[in-house]
Every structure is written in structure tokens, then in C-alpha cells.
Amino acid sequence: EVQLVESGGGLVQPGGSLRLSCAASGFSFSIYWMSWVRQAPGKGLEWVATIKPDGSEKYYVDSVKGRFTISRDNAMNSLSLQMNSLRAEDTAIYYCARDGRFVVTPSCWGQGTLVTVSS
């Protein structure tokens, strides 16, 4: 069974940093594209970032470029999102998602972790 378990969310002040992690199990992690998608309170879904299976390609939404970094450790079956210079508008539930092997869009999702940016 595919499992994606996010951790690392919490309350952080504006300008602060947070690192989200996603522990993957039940599939061959190293051959799948992986993504982060977020949902702000009362808002719709927003794609944040995607990483290629070998980590050689990374894509970001403009609003987080230069502040967020997506990475992965295929030996540990783990996906991460380093978030720096956090802003109030980054407040959201962050979902880890497994994309397809060849069609790069989410097929499985974690339960999410809440990030709140507030003073």
C-alpha cells in the first residue's frame, strides 16, 4: 500500500524557516516524480514544486522561487521542502504527492501538514 506521511509543519514567525518532510513507503520511491501541493485556509489547491526521480530537475511556482527548495533522498525514501523567508501567505496545509512515472501529475497524496506563518 502506498503511504505518504508528512511532518515538520507548525507555527513560525514571518521571515522564519521550516523544513517539511515526507516519508514514502509501499512503492519504488526512486523511480517516481514527486510534488508538493498546498491549500491555504478557505482557498483552492495550489501546486508548489516538483522534482524528477533522480533530483536533476526541479520546478517551482513563481511565488516560492528563491525561498523554497525541494529535495529528495532516494536511499531514505524521503522528500523534503525547505521553506525560508516565510510569509503570511504561505500559511496552508502542505501535501506531499507521488506523481506518475511518465505522466507528471499527482496520483497519490499524503494527509498533509499544516504550516502557519504568524507573529
Partner 1 sequence: DIQMTQSPSSLSASVGDRVTITCRASQDISKNLAWVQKKPGKAPKSLIYAASTLQSGVPSKFSGSGSGTDFTLTISSLQPEDFATYYCQQHNTYPRTFGGGTKVEIK
Using CB under 8 A as the criterion, which residues of the chain lie in contact with partner 1 when the complex forms? 35, 37, 39, 44-47, 50, 59-62, 95, 97, 100, 103-112
**Is the Cβ–Cβ distance between 100 and 107 less than 8 Å?**
yes
Nearer to partner 1, 75 or 103 (CB): 103
**Least separation in angstroms between CB 80 and partner 1:** 19
Nearer to partner 1, 35 or 80 (CB): 35
CB atoms within 10 A of CB 11: 13
Nearer to partner 1, 59 or 71 (CB): 59
